[in-house]
Amino acid sequence: MLKPFAVREHEKMKEVLMHPDASGPEIHYYMIRGGVDKGNITVWETGTVGREYIKTYGHYHVGKIGETYYVLGGEGVILLQIRKKDAEGNPIDDQIENFYAIRVKAGASVYMPSGTAHLAANTGKAWLVTTDDSPVNFEEVDPVALPGHADYEPIKKLKGFAYYLVEDNGQPTLVKNPNYKSAPEPEWLTPEEYTQKESK
């Protein structure tokens, strides 16, 4: 039977938080999954955990799968990172080539190409709500399981992305994750600037 509803709990999110021991809401975000045809809806809780904005876990895609996120409500920041490659062309998990932070609000859309890890954080006072068109594996027995098209291991291993998005005097600021060997200065972009850069 299809089980489209899933939630991501604090307990699981501890794996990728800047401060895993800080207290937070029991549920960080809610998902209704419909895959490529019906789309997927994600709803973020508001607030911070140890100054870090409530965010999705973050993942790379397995294979050549891109996806587009449309922001339906609220405001947030999408973080994207691309890994460096070794001589054989294999990605190096703890060495980042590009890191982008994109401020979004209702009406914005951002395309995430394959090979680009992505997460989104809620920086507003209301629910952040998005819809996306990424494929979902409905064979999953456990609806709380992570989607089948996604690779969460590099993010889990390094306890999050190369930068954490934290609140500093009411403003979102990026703080480097010390588990990464190298990462460039993050680039703050509008959705339009990112789209131009990505299409080159």
Euclidean distance between CA atoms 8 and 184, whole angstroms? 29
Residue whose C-beta lies closest to Fe ion: 134
Q: Which is nearer to Fe ion, 51 or 156 (CB)?
A: 156
What is the token pair recorded at 49? 């955990």
Q: Within its chain, how far is the Cα of 30 from the centroid?
A: 14
Taking the C-alpha atoms of residue 126 and residue 57, their distance in angstroms, rounded to an integer, is 20
Contact 156/15 with Cβ under 8 angstroms?
yes
Q: How far is the CB of 151 from Fe ion (least distance, A)?
A: 10
Angle at 30 between CA 69 and CA 164, to 5 degrees: 65
What's the min distance (Å) between Cβ of 170 and Fe ion? Answer: 29
Nearer to Fe ion, 48 or 112 (CB): 112
* CB nearer Fe ion, residue 65 or residue 92: 65
Minimum CB separation of residue 9 from Fe ion in Å reads 19
Q: Minimum distance from CB of 90 to Fe ion (Å)? A: 20
Cα–Cα distance measured from residue 138 to residue 4, given in angstroms and rounded to the nearest whole number: 8
Nearer to Fe ion, 15 or 167 (CB): 15
Question: Which residues are near Fe ion by CB under 5 A?
Answer: 134
